[in-house]
Amino acid sequence: MTDTILRRLDPKHFIIILITLVLVLGEAKYSVLGGYDRLAMTLSVCVATELAFSWFIRGKMPGLQSAYVSGISLALLTKPQGHLLWPFALGAFLAIASKYVVQVHGRHLWNPSNFSISLLLLLAPGRMSVLSHQWGNDLFTNAIIWGIGLLVVSRAKVLHVTLTYVASFFTLGFIRSQLVGTPLLPEVAPITGPMYQLFVFFMVTDPRTTVRSRRGRMLVVGIVALVEAAIRLASDFHLPVPAALSASPPILALAIVGPIAMWIDLRRTPAAAAV
């Protein structure tokens, strides 16, 4: 009976359940939001921007699932200095507006949350940061989120993307530990945190901003992990790296690699892009 219900549920419902679960557990255990006013700001601006752009550009009312996911992601990940609220409003507007403005053949190049956070980090690297909490040794919390997360990406048929990134992350983490001379655990521990869970289950798997072929998706996400590792190594060896890159290597790595891959993919088969 349960299996039948799960099969009938749309993957979008699982996505909403998972993002809400990350929010609830993160706030209950670590107060990762920093205030519910931040959540209210990002959600309201995301929804309002989605409604306005869809109505004026497409002439129809939109579904609000994307706005909901983007709003919660931004509320969790955006960490400006002090108690400022405007970065949440600006970030929410940039995330949703990018879907309608930054397009090639009807497809947006960046995951909305990834675009917004990356741009804010680039514009104000000294004032902006990204959530860095980890669940640590809380096996129960990790088991719940990863269990539901893997179910979500499996139902959405992008499990191969998440698993490729995770395998690449662990492999490159081992290499980094050997090069830098640090234990393996500190190199791979960040993947237990809510930031990485949002990253591996929502950003790298976003169907609207990933290339169409299965092999292509796996290749791209492997390159993202490689660029992330290169950024981390540059910081480890005190090389001159832009502050925005060091602030969140995975977010910026995806912001660099993802759009290039999408542009190449869309240029190769533009007729299929709008399908």
Average pLDDT over residues 165-183: 94
Cα torsion 148, 192, 249, 220: sign? negative
- Taking only the tens place, the pLDDT of each residue in 113-150 is 999 999 999 988 878 889 877 666 677 788 888 888 99
- Percent of the chain whose pLDDT exceeds 70: 92
pLDDT given for residue 9 in this prediction: 56
Q: What does the alpha-carbon distance between residue 164 and residue 211 come to, in Å, rounded to a whole number?
A: 15
State the Cα torsion 24-199-110-257 to the nearest 10°: 170
- Taking only the tens place, the pLDDT of each residue in 176-224 is 999 999 999 888 888 888 889 899 999 999 988 899 999 999 999 999 9
pLDDT given for residue 1 in this prediction: 45
Average pLDDT, the chain: 88
Question: pLDDT: is 171 or 62 the higher one?
Answer: 171
- 196-219: buried (b, 16+ CB within 10 Å) or exposed (e) per residue? bbbbbbbbbbbeebbbbeeeebbe
- Judged by phi (left if over 0) then psi (alpha if -120 to 50, else beta), residue 154 lies in alpha
pLDDT over threshold 70, residue 273 = no
Residue type, 5: I
- Percent of the chain whose pLDDT exceeds 90: 53
Q: How many C-beta neighbours within 10 Å does residue 37 have? A: 13
* H/E stretch holding 201: none
Rg (Cα) of the chain, in Å, rounded? 18
Given pLDDT bands bounded at 50, 70 and 90, which one contains residue 230?
very high
Query: What are φ and ψ of residue 125, in 5° steps?
Result: -65, -25
